[in-house]
Structure 1
Amino acid sequence: MDNKFDAECLFVYGTCPDAEVGKAIARALLDARLVACVNLLPGMISLFRWDGKVEEAAEVAFIAKTSKSRMPAVKALFEKHHPYEEPALIALPVADGLPGFLSWVISETADPSPDAG
């Protein structure tokens, strides 16, 4: 790892049933300063096994960047606002990236409360 922010940043991947749900969750996460940014990629087709049979659904890929310290709250908010019985959401550690971008992610997701620290 080349810079101090690599170990603190997470790449978060999930799915949403449509762009409207994705936007609503993204805005709630951004308003709470839990993520630095969200990318929504429409037009995805998902195939998966559910209740013993293979299903196919149109979905929107949900990609967010956050810090490790904010991930528990990201999971809670995503699950609370998501309509699926079992929403897909995973976080991957960032192995490397541009230092300025990674610093921005950490800055944007810092706890704004006065007693944070």
Structure 2
Amino acid sequence: MSAALALVTCPHDAAERLATALVEARVAACVNIVAHVRSVYRWNGELCRDDEALLLIKHPSAGFEALRAAVLAHHPYELPEIVAVDLDRGHAPYLDWLLASCARAP
């Protein structure tokens, strides 16, 4: 089994709640909250600029659909950013911990 890193932006006031929900549901082993990112994007034909938080979500690659569903269930945006990159290298003991942290107890 391999690991992945998902990137999700959200409003500052939703970041802690969203991160906690993902770890509690065991769809993520760890979520780092980068407190301030400036997003520039086009939405509904308008150029937008927003201050947001960036969540760096470490999770099992095979669990992406469960992670995506959990983000959608808790995210306040109509169309949240949810992108993932497979991790093909990393500190093996950390990756083992990551995968074990998301495993369901028997």
Q: TM-score range by the shorter chain?
A: over 0.9
Aligned length: 106
Q: Where does structure 1 lack aligned partners over 5 or more consecutive residues? A: none
How much does 1:29 deviate?
1.0
Which residue does the alignment assign to 1:81?
74
CA distance in 1, matches of 2:36, 2:18: 18
Larger radius of gyration: 1
Which residue does the alignment assign to 2:49?
56
Give the alignment of 1:1-117 within 5 angstroms.
Answer: 8-18=2-12, 20-112=13-105, 114=106
How much does 1:69 deviate?
2.5
Letter in 1 for 2:102: T
Letter in 1 for 2:28: V
User: Is the partner of 2:5 in helix, strand or coil?
Assistant: strand
Q: Where does structure 2 lack aligned partners over 5 or more consecutive residues? A: none
Q: Normalising by the residue count of structure 2, what TM-score does the alignment of the two structures yield?
A: 0.94
Between the two proteins, what is the percent identity of the paired residues? 30
Moved over 3 A (4+): none
Please give the root-mean-square deviation of Cα atoms over the aligned residues, in Å.
1.1
Q: Normalising by the residue count of structure 1, what TM-score does the alignment of the two structures yield?
A: 0.86
